[in-house]
C-alpha cells in the first residue's frame, strides 16, 4: 500500500487543495472583518493587510472552485450542481453557501474600498459610484452576513468529509471544528504573509492584533487535534485502527508529526511567543511564521483526506 | 448603527439556530416515519446470496457484464474469495457477493448534490440518473459497501440496479440470478409472502453487512457454515 494509491481511495489531493483554499478564503475574510471592526475603522482600506485579505479571499475561493470543477468527471456539466439541489447533501448546501459567500464577499470588498474607488473614478461611471455608495450604506449588514458565511464555509469543508459514514476517521464530529479553526489560522497566516509582501509594516497594529489571536488559536487547534485522535482511539474497533494507521510509522505518520504538529503548530507557536516578548517584529519573522502555518494546514488537509480513506468500517 | 448591528447579528444567529433545529427535528421525525414499515408500497425488490451454494465461478459477473454493457476494468458485481481454509485435501473457500445493497436509507442518495442518485419509489431500487450526475464522486466515497464506480464510457457513477433497465423490463430475473449454475442467488419481492425470496429468508439464517450504520440494506447473505472459525 503506497501513501497516495490504495484500495478504496476515491478523493485525491485536488480535493485537499480545494478544502485548503476554501478554508483559507474564509479565514482571510474573518480576520479582515475583525481587523477593520476592532482596529482600523474607516481608514481600513489604506492598510496593506486589509488589501491583502481583500485580494486573497476572492482569488483563493475562485481557484478552489476551479479545481473542484476540473476534478469532476464531467467538468462541463458543473452547472447542474447550481441548478439541482438536495437538502440532505452537505455538498449541495455547501454550494449554496459558497454562492452567497462569493456574492457577499464582492459586496464587502466594494463597500470597504468605496472611498478610493470613487476617488479614482473622478465622477466617471456614475452607476459604479452610486452602486458603491449604496453598498457602503449597507456595510454593517453585509459585514454581519459575510462573517457568518465565512464561519459556515470554514466548517463546511469539514462537514463535507464528516458526512462519509463509511470512514471512521472522517465520520467524526470534531472534524468540522478542526477544519474551521485550522482554516481560520491559514487565513490569518496568508493575510500576514501577503500583507508584508505588499510592504505592510511587520511591526504594525494589524500584525500585533492577528498574532495576539493566533497564539490562543494554535493552542485550541492542538487541543482539538488531541481530542480528535483520543476520541477515535477510545472508540475502539475500526476507529482505533484508523487512528493508529494514520499516526503510526509510515509516510503519513511522518507528515503528521513532522509537518502538521512540528512545522505547522509548534514552530509558529514558538515564533509567536518569541515575537510577543521581543521588542519588534521583522519582515523575515512574520513571513517565515506565516509560511510555516500555511504549509502545516495544507499538510493537515492532505493528511486527513488520505488517511481518512485508508481505513473503512 | 452599533445597536442595529448587534440586533442584526443576534437576529441572524437566532434565525440560523432556528433553521438548524427545525431541519434536524424534521429529519428525526422523517427517519422515525421511515423506520416504520411502509405498507403502501407493494413492490420492494431484494436479493439473497447463499454463500454455501456459491462455488465462485463468476458466471454472475460475466452475465452482468454482457447484459448491462459493463466496460472492462469495472464491475457491478464481484464475488470475493477468501481461503483456502483447512488442510489438504479437506479445503474450502468462502465466497461473498459485493454489489449494491439497495439500502432503504442509502448514504449515496443522501450525499448526492444534484439528486442523480435516487430510490425508485415503485421498486425500492437505488438508481442513478445519468443526465443529472456530474461525476463529483461523493456517492462513491459515501457508500460504505464501496460498490460504486465511475463508468469509463459514460463518465457517470454506475452500479448494480437489479437489471432494472434490461432484464426486469423484459419481465425476466436479473442476469446474475439467471446465470447462476447452483441457484445461489434468489431475487424477488420482499412484500410478497409467497415469493421464493421471502420463503428463503424465512427458512435460512441470513445476515446483512454493516447494518450498524443504519443503511438497512436489501442484499441478504446466507453465511458460510464450512470453513474456519475466526475470532
Q: Do B135 and A77 touch (CB under 8 A)?
A: yes
Which residue, among A18, A71, A166, would best test binding to B if mutated, counting the most B CBs under 10 Å from its CB?
A: A166
Alpha-carbon torsion angle A144, A149, A151, A154, nearest 10 = -160
In terms of pLDDT, which residue wins out, B15 or A232? A232
CA distances from A196 to A31, A35, A113, A203, B76 (A): 15, 15, 20, 10, 55
* DSSP secondary structure letters along A198-217: TT--TTSHHHHHHHHHHHHH
Cβ contact, residue pair A89, B146, below 8 Å: no
- Contact between A168 and A235 under an 8 Å Cβ cutoff? The reply is yes
Interface contact flag, B23 A87, Cβ < 8 Å: yes
Which stretches within chain A are classed as H helix? 13-35, 48-71, 79-83, 90-112, 114-121, 126-137, 139-162, 175-197, 205-235, 237-247, 251-254, 267-277, 283-310
Residues of B in contact with A80 (CB under 8 A): 114, 132, 134
Nearest-CB residue to B111 (from A8, A81, A89) = A89
CB B82 within 8 A of CB B230: no
On whether the CB atoms of residues A226 and A265 are closer than 8 A, the answer is no
Q: Tell me the C-alpha distance between A236 and A80, whole Å.
A: 41
Interchain CB contact of B3 with A (< 8 Å): no
Does residue B179 contact residue B173 with C-beta atoms inside 8 Å? no
pLDDT of residue B227: 67
Question: How many residue pairs from chains A and B have C-beta atoms closer than 8 A?
Answer: 101
Q: Is the pTM of this model over 0.90?
A: no
Q: Does B14 touch chain A (CB under 8 A)?
A: no
**What is the predicted pLDDT for the residue at B33?**
46
Distance CA A10, CA B213 (A): 20
CATH of domain B45-105+162-222: 3.30.70.20
Looking at residue B27, its pLDDT comes to 62
Q: Which of residues 116-155 of A touch B (CB under 8 A)?
A: 140-141, 143-145, 147-148
* CB-based contact B114 A86, cutoff 8 Å: yes
pLDDT at B2 over 70: no
Hey, is the C-beta of A85 within 8 angstroms of any chain B C-beta?
A: yes
The string of pLDDT tens digits covering residues B183-227 is 999 999 999 999 999 999 999 999 999 999 999 999 999 998 876
Contacts of B141 in chain A (CB under 8 A): 10-11, 164, 166-167, 309
Q: For chain B, how far is it from start to end, CA to CA, in angstroms? A: 68
Asked if B213 and A73 come within 8 Å (Cβ–Cβ), the reply is no
Helix, coil or strand: residue B98? strand
Which residues face B188 on adjacent strands? B46
- Write the class of the CATH domain A13-310: mainly alpha
Alpha-carbon distance values, A190 to A248, A295, A297, A310, B1 (Å): 31, 11, 11, 30, 31
Whether residues A77 and B138 touch (CB distance < 8 A) is answered with no
Candidates A83, A76, A84, A82; CA nearest to A98 is A82
**Cα-flanking dihedrals φ and ψ of residue B128, to 5°?**
-125, 125
Rounded mean pLDDT of B108-128? 95
Give the pLDDT of residue A76.
Answer: 94
Say which residues have a Cβ less than 8 Å from residue A154's Cβ, sequence separation at least 6.
A22, A23, A26, A27, A30, A179, A180, A183, A184
User: Chain B closest CA to A72's CA: distance in Å?
Assistant: 5
Residues of A in contact with B129 (CB under 8 A): none
User: Which of A72, A77, A144 shows the shortest C-beta gap to B5?
Assistant: A144
Cα B45 from Cα B34, distance rounded (Å): 17
Contacts of A72 in chain B (CB under 8 A): 134-136
Q: What is the rounded CA–CA span in Å between residue B94 and residue B85? A: 8
Q: Rounded to 5 degrees, what are φ and ψ at A169?
A: -70, -30
Q: Tell me the shortest Cα–Cα distance from B143 to chain A, in angstroms.
A: 7
Reading the block at residue A273, the C-alpha cell is: 511567543
Which residues on chain A are in Cβ contact (under 8 Å) with B4? 140
Question: Position of cell 475574510?
Answer: A29
Distance, in Å, from the CA atom of B6 to the CA atom of B130, rounded to the nearest integer, reads 48
Residue among A8, A10, A92, A171 with most chain B CBs within 10 A, to mutate:
A10
Between strands B117-119 and B157-158, the pairing is unpaired
Distance separating alpha carbons of residues A1 and A162, to the nearest angstrom: 24
CB B176 within 8 A of CB B64: yes
Q: Given an 8 Å threshold on Cβ–Cβ distance, is B144 in contact with A144?
A: no
- What pLDDT is attached to residue B34? 47
Instruction: Report which of B42, B43, B50 is spatially closest to residue B168, judged by C-alpha positions.
Output: B43
Partners of B155 on chain A (C-beta within 8 Å) are: 73-74
Cα A289 to Cα B52: distance, rounded to the nearest angstrom? 62
| Mean pLDDT within B161-174 | 95
Chain A contact present for B19, CB below 8 A: no
Nearest chain B alpha carbon to A311 = B144
Element (H, E) at B68: helix B59-68
What are the residue ranges spanned by the domains of chain B?
1-36, 45-105+162-222
Q: Contact A99/A82 with Cβ under 8 angstroms?
A: yes
Q: What is the pLDDT along chain A (313 residues), one digit of tens a residue?
A: 688 888 889 999 999 999 999 999 999 999 999 999 998 888 888 899 999 999 999 999 999 999 999 999 999 999 999 999 999 999 999 999 999 999 999 999 999 998 888 888 777 787 888 888 889 889 999 999 999 999 999 999 999 999 999 999 999 999 999 999 999 999 999 999 999 999 988 888 999 899 989 999 999 999 999 999 999 999 999 999 999 999 988 999 999 999 999 999 999 999 988 887 876 788 888 999 999 999 999 999 999 999 999 998 8
User: With an 8 Å Cβ cutoff, are B111 and A140 in contact?
Assistant: no
| Closest-CA residue to A6 (of A311, A310, A303) | A310
Rounded CA gap, A192 and B172, in Å? 67
Is the pLDDT assigned to residue B30 strictly greater than 60?
no
Whether A10 sits inside 8 A of B137 (CB atoms) is yes
Amino acid at each position: 500500500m503506497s501513501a497516495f494509491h490504495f484500495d478504496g481511495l476515491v478523493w485525491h489531493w485536488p480535493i485537499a487543495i480545494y478544502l485548503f483554499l476554501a478554508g483559507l478564503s474564509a479565514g482571510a475574510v474573518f480576520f479582515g472583518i475583525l481587523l477593520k471592526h476592532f482596529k482600523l475603522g474607516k481608514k481600513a482600506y489604506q492598510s496593506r493587510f486589509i488589501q491583502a485579505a481583500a485580494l486573497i479571499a476572492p482569488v483563493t475561493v475562485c481557484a478552489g472552485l476551479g479545481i473542484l470543477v476540473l476534478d469532476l468527471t464531467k467538468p462541463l456539466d458543473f452547472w447542474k450542481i447550481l441548478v439541482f439541489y438536495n437538502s440532505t447533501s452537505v455538498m449541495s448546501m455547501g454550494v449554496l453557501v459558497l454562492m452567497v459567500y462569493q456574492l457577499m464577499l464582492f459586496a464587502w470588498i466594494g463597500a470597504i474600498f468605496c472611498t478610493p474607488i470613487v476617488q479614482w473614478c473622478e465622477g466617471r461611471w456614475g452607476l459604479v459610484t452610486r452602486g458603491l455608495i449604496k453598498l457602503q450604506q449597507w456595510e454593517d449588514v453585509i459585514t454581519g452576513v459575510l462573517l457568518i458565511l465565512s464561519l459556515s464555509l470554514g466548517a463546511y469543508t469539514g462537514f463535507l468529509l464528516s458526512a462519509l459514514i463509511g470512514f471512521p476517521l472522517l465520520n467524526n464530529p470534531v472534524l468540522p471544528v478542526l477544519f474551521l479553526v485550522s482554516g481560520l489560522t491559514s487565513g490569518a497566516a496568508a493575510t500576514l504573509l501577503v500583507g508584508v509582501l505588499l510592504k505592510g509594516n511587520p511591526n504594525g497594529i494589524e500584525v500585533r492584533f492577528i498574532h495576539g489571536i493566533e497564539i490562543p488559536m494554535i493552542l485550541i487547534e492542538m487541543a482539538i487535534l488531541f481530542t480528535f485522535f483520543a476520541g477515535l482511539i477510545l472508540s475502539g474497533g475500526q476507529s482505533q485502527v484508523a487512528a493508529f494507521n494514520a499516526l503510526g510509522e509510515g509516510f503519513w505518520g511522518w507528515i503528521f508529526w513532522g509537518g502538521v504538529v512540528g512545522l505547522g503548530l509548534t514552530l509558529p507557536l514558538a515564533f509567536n511567543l518569541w515575537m510577543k516578548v521581543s521588542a519588534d517584529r521583522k519582515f523575515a519573522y512574520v513571513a517565515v511564521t506565516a509560511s510555516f502555518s500555511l504549509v502545516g494546514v495544507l499538510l493537515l488537509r492532505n493528511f486527513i483526506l488520505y488517511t481518512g480513506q485508508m481505513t473503512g468500517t | 448603527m452599533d445597536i442595529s448591528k448587534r440586533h442584526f447579528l443576534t437576529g441572524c444567529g437566532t434565525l440560523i439556530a432556528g433553521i438548524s433545529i427545525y431541519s434536524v427535528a424534521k429529519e428525526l421525525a422523517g427517519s422515525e416515519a421511515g423506520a416504520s414499515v411502509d405498507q403502501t408500497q407493494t413492490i420492494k425488490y431484494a436479493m439473497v446470496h447463499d454463500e454455501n451454494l456459491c462455488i465462485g465461478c463468476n458466471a454472475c459477473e460475466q452475465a452482468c457484464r454482457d447484459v448491462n454493457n459493463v466496460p472492462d476494468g469495472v464491475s457491478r458485481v464481484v464475488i470475493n474469495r477468501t481461503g483456502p481454509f483447512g488442510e489438504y485435501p479437506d479445503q474450502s473457500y468462502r465466497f461473498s457477493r459485493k454489489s449494491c445493497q439497495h439500502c432503504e436509507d442509502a448514504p449515496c442518495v443522501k450525499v448526492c448534490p444534484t439528486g442523480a442518485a435516487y430510490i425508485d419509489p415503485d421498486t425500492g431500487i437505488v438508481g442513478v440518473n445519468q443526465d443529472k450526475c456530474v461525476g463529483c464522486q461523493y456517492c462513491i466515497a459515501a457508500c460504505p459497501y464501496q460498490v460504486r464506480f465511475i463508468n469509463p464510457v459514460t463518465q457517470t457513477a454506475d452500479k448494480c440496479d437489479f437489471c432494472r433497465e434490461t432484464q426486469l423490463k423484459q419481465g425476466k430475473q436479473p442476469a446474475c440470478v439467471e446465470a447462476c449454475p447452483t441457484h445461489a442467488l434468489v431475487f424477488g419481492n420482499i412484500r410478497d409472502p409467497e415469493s421464493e425470496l421471502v420463503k428463503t429468508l424465512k427458512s435460512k439464517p441470513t445476515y446483512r453487512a454493516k447494518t450498524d450504520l443504519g443503511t438497512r440494506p436489501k442484499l441478504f447473505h446466507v453465511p458460510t457454515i464450512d470453513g474456519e472459525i475466526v475470532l
